[in-house]
Amino acid sequence: MPVLLLVLLAALPLQDPPAREKTVIHGLAMPVPAGWTRTNDPSGAVFLVPPQIPGVLQSMLAVFPPNKLQGGHWAAHKEMVKQLLQQAQWTGGEPAFSHKAEGPGIFVKTEAAGRTAAGEGRTFTLFTAVHDGIMEAILGINNFDRNVVDPVLEATTFKEPPKSEARPKIVEAYRRMNQRLTINPNGGAMIAGSLQYERLWLWSNGVADFSTSYSEGYA
């Protein structure tokens, strides 16, 4: 019987370990690892502290309450970076920034580094994501272990699926004669292009579109 059981177990397909249950924090669902501590601040921020290395400046994540988006995502993101710098009071020199749009996960981020008046180095990383006119924000305080934190942020999702945005409408359309000329690389003669008109569309989302090719349904 034990031999038969081993054979049956060996025949079973390998399965991935179960996904870690996510914790809802404000508008985000995060897979908070075991061993992390959580503190709910009266300001509304939620502090998540991973296990620390003794003798090293404490690092943590601060999950802020969501804010209504004012303007574009990057504009609101950089404005928040500016406000955080004012609170940090890094007066030991001009801080350095690195803006990145590639994640982890649903986020864009800004890494900031500077010095206090005493010359001590300080860093923070701001992660933000936008849905339905709302900006979610997480602040990484001090030098955190990216091998630990990045997988958590990579797996973080919005608490509720974002609403699908309505397709913008064309509110005004213009066309004018403007056949462009190009230079023939073989001889240098001027050649008239195939497009005789220049088109301009004004979209309901405020975009002025000068594209020369369009998606299906916008011919």
pLDDT value of residue 7: 40
The mean pLDDT of the chain is 82
DSSP 35-56: T-EEEE-TTS-EEEEPPPPTTS
Question: pLDDT tens across 80-103, in order?
Answer: 999 999 998 888 778 898 999 888
Confidence band, pLDDT 50/70/90 cuts, at residue 10 = very low
- The correct CATH number of 23-158 out of 3.40.640.10, 3.40.1000.10, 3.30.1360.180, 1.10.760.10 is 3.40.1000.10
pLDDT value of residue 4: 42
Sheet with strand 23-25: strands edge to edge: 23-25, 28-30, 157-158
Instruction: Identify the weakest region by mean pLDDT among 18-27, 32-41, 133-142.
Output: 18-27
- Domain positions in the chain are 23-158, 170-209
Question: pLDDT tens across 176-198, in order?
Answer: 666 667 777 777 777 776 666 67
